Amino acid sequence: MNQAKLLIGTVFILLSITTFAQDKYSKVKIHIPSSQERSNIIKNLQLDHFTTERNSIICEIGPDEMNKLKASSLNFEVVVDDLVSNLTEVNKQYDRSQKNGPTILSTQMAFD
């Protein structure tokens, strides 16, 4: 009976871990040589949310898009490797800053 409970518990834990596993999303800056190339990038990576900065597209992409980008000949840089970890750290910094009461820095962080 104890072995059955252990087995059921182990299976439950493994299913929970895989169910709650998150894909890693990254913020990247893709350098674009031309406006035609820009349209192709948006279409091929299926980007629906992005910003532009001079000759670059800044966007947040998942692992599938990152693999496509790495396989391409495009010049890009990773701005934030893991957005979830980054946001968690920013939130921790903000929480620490609030322990002693709000400051100008912590107030500004709330609006960034």
The pair phi, psi for residue 44, each rounded to 5°, is -65, -35
Structure tokens at 87: 């946001």
Interatomic CA distance for residues 80 and 75, integer angstroms: 16
Cβ–Cβ < 8 Å for 62, 50 = no
pTM (predicted TM-score):
0.66
Structure tokens at 33: 């040589």
Residue 72's domain spans which residues? 22-102
* Beta-bridge partners for 106: none
Q: Which of 87, 64, 85, 69 is nearest to 28 (CA)?
A: 69
Q: What is the pLDDT of residue 62?
A: 94
Q: Based on the structure, what is the number of domains in the chain?
A: 1
Is 11 among the domain residues? Answer: no
Instruction: Tell me the mean pLDDT per 10 residues along the chain, length 112.
Output: 67 59 88 86 90 93 94 94 92 83 59 57
CA 40 to chain CA mean position, Å: 22
Structure tokens at 63: 């692992």
CATH of the domain at 72: 3.30.70.340
Q: What is the pLDDT of residue 28?
A: 97
Is 73 among the domain residues? Answer: yes
Is 107 among the domain residues? Answer: no
Tell me the DSSP string of 68-108. HHHHSS-EEEEEES-HHHHHHHHHHHHHHHHTT---HHHHH
